Amino acid sequence: MTPESHRRSWVASANEHPDFPLQNLPFGVFSTADEPPRGGVAIGDLILDMLVALEADLFSQHVQRAARVAAQPHLNAFFALEMAERRALREELTELLEEASPQRDRMQALGDTLLRPIAACQMHLPARIGDYTDFYVGIHHAVNVGKLFRPDNPLLPNYKYVPIGYHGRASTIDISGAPVRRPNGQTLPPGQNEPVFGPSKRLDYELEIGVWIGQGNARGESIPIAEASQHIAGLCLLNDWSARDIQAWEYQPLGPFLSKSFATTVSPWVVMAEALEPFRCAQPARPAGDPQPLSYLLDPTDQETGALDVELEVLLLTATMREQNLPAQRIALSNTLNMYWTLAQLVTHHSVNGCSLQPGDLFGSGTLSGEQPDSYGSLLEITLGGKKPLTLASGETRTFLEDGDEVILRARCHRQGYPSIGFGECRGVVQPAR
């Protein structure tokens, strides 16, 4: 049997594809001009239409149930399956799409009825999002932001004991490519004692990963740390747009509110947990002197294999750069290894008080900055709160985002001897305030 890392597809664009080789096969929801939304799987530059594949009887009886729910216009029921069922479907899809597939001729005969060009399709949110929680697990971001407000005490004592998070707004989560409207709100101008109302002048992005919850838990029951990874369906990219001036005025004493709830953008493809297994690694050791997690958050297996090695990238494309035909400029390169807590720890902590999680719930990781300025995941950090403007290739400068700016997030996993696995892009263009 061909090793997983060497398997190739009869879909030519999948081989050497930076994001969607045969080893990835992320799930999403798409539509075409004349057909409604349905589930699909990315393979190279194409989308395998799960509904057409079902109608063509391409799947064995063993995976029929999983294939049916993966073809629906919302993937909540697919996320709710046991990991073994999702894994079996993914393995069968791999066999269907690999070079030596016995079904190759049948599938090729279906042509673009079965395999749709991604560029010709519209992507939709993968699931109905019942709840959205944004965490704060990027320790370098937490330190950098803390220094802006508390230079002598950047991290509050609870940070290294508790995976900090807040309940976000699910109704304003949108898919990559949707416009982002600059929000209006109250701000307190420097040197004044009373707030004013108007458009945010300190609009920012935040580089995050999104976590799609699979099977949930009954209300009143918690998810043990040793089982928590089984409740994660997959990951995406997430941009937690932030109005820093509104945030600075409103965040005490209860934290983020209107400064965060106006827009969150996610990438359309769900990179399944099974596809990410080759990129699992040990959770980075905590610095000397840091406390160990409390017992309900500590599991040896999770510490040994609960981290992920995913490269994260931020690019900025301004209106002027588009006019000058300049490419988007990379302004940050980071990694998920900058997470202070594992994904399993987030799941367990969220449920430990009996809070019920549901299939299709979404977590944000919090901004995943690295230690160096070229790895910072927000303009707030890059520009030191607006004090040190960022200079772009076009000659422009930025302290915060301006109308017409487009933020592009990318993520890829790399491993020696294994094809790269990508997340696609998470894009959003800033529109003027109403």
Task: Classify residue 396 as exposed, middle or buried by CB count within 10 Å of its CB (0-12, 13-18, 19+).
Answer: middle
Q: Could you tell me which residues come within 8 angstroms of residue 47 by beta carbon, excluding any fewer than 6 positions away?
A: 28, 30, 40, 41, 115, 116, 117, 118, 121
Residue 345 annotated as lining a ligand binding site? no
| Cα–Cα distance, 231 to 216 (Å, whole number) | 7
Q: How far apart are CA 376 and CA 368, in angstroms?
A: 8
Is 206 marked as a binding-site residue?
A: yes
Q: Which residues pair with 241 in a beta bridge?
A: none
Q: Answer yes or no: is 202 a known binding residue.
A: no
- Is the dihedral angle over the CA atoms 30, 425, 420, 306 positive or is it negative? negative
Rounded-to-integer distance, Cα 66 and Cα 59, Å:
10
Tell me the C-alpha distance between 236 and 266, whole Å: 7
Q: Is 342 annotated as a binding residue?
A: no
| Active-site residue flag, 17 | no
How far from chain centre, in Å, is Cα 412? 12
Alpha helices in 226-351 (DSSP H): 244-250, 300-305, 319-323, 343-351
Which residues, in sequence order, are CB contacts of 176 under 8 Å at separation 6+? 123, 237, 265, 266, 267, 268, 424, 425, 426, 427, 428
**292 labelled binding-site residue:** no
**Which residue type, as a one-letter code, is found at position 377?**
G
Written as six digits, the tokens of 31 are 């539509």
Tell me which of 74, 124, 140, 141 is the catalytic residue.
141
Catalogue the E-assigned strands of 214-266: 232-239, 242-243, 264-266
Q: What is the DSSP letter of 424?
A: E
Tell me: is residue 208 an annotated ligand-binding position: yes
Residue 57 labeled ligand binder: no
The neighbour count for residue 301, using CB atoms within 10 Å, is 11
Binding residues for Ca(2+): 134, 206, 208, 240
Binding residues: 134, 136, 150, 206, 208, 240, 247, 251, 260, 264, 367
Question: Catalytic residue positions?
Answer: 141
Binding residues for substrate: 136, 150, 247, 251, 367
Binding residues for Mg(2+): 240, 260, 264
